[in-house]
Amino acid sequence: MGIDIRLPLGILFLLLGLILVVYGAASDPSLYRQSLGINVNFDWGIVLLIFGTLMFALSRRGARAQVRTENDQQSPRSSGH
């Protein structure tokens, strides 16, 4: 019904990842003393970016597949391809 949740999910995580990566790259390293010296913002931001890209790509692929099925339904003769 209505929406493919992977699209907003992908966009949200792309934005979240972007915010964390940029902030992580720009912020003062002393900030990360409490996280065991690991720049969690930057590192985890990259992971979120990858996840967001994956979800976004899946939703695009799903949308294309949907268009194809709809076309097939409209012209049953061309359903061979």
Interface positions with another protein (CB under 8 A): 1-3, 5, 8-9, 11-13, 15-16, 19-20, 23-24, 27, 31-32, 34-36, 38, 40-41, 44, 48, 51
Q: How far is the CB of 72 from another protein (least distance, A)?
A: 19
Q: How far is the CB of 73 from another protein (least distance, A)?
A: 17
Q: Is 44 left (phi over 0), alpha (psi -120 to 50) or beta?
A: alpha
Q: How far is the CB of 70 from another protein (least distance, A)?
A: 16
Contacts of 19 (CB under 8 A, 6+ apart): 45
Handedness of CA 33, 37, 38, 39 (dihedral sign): positive
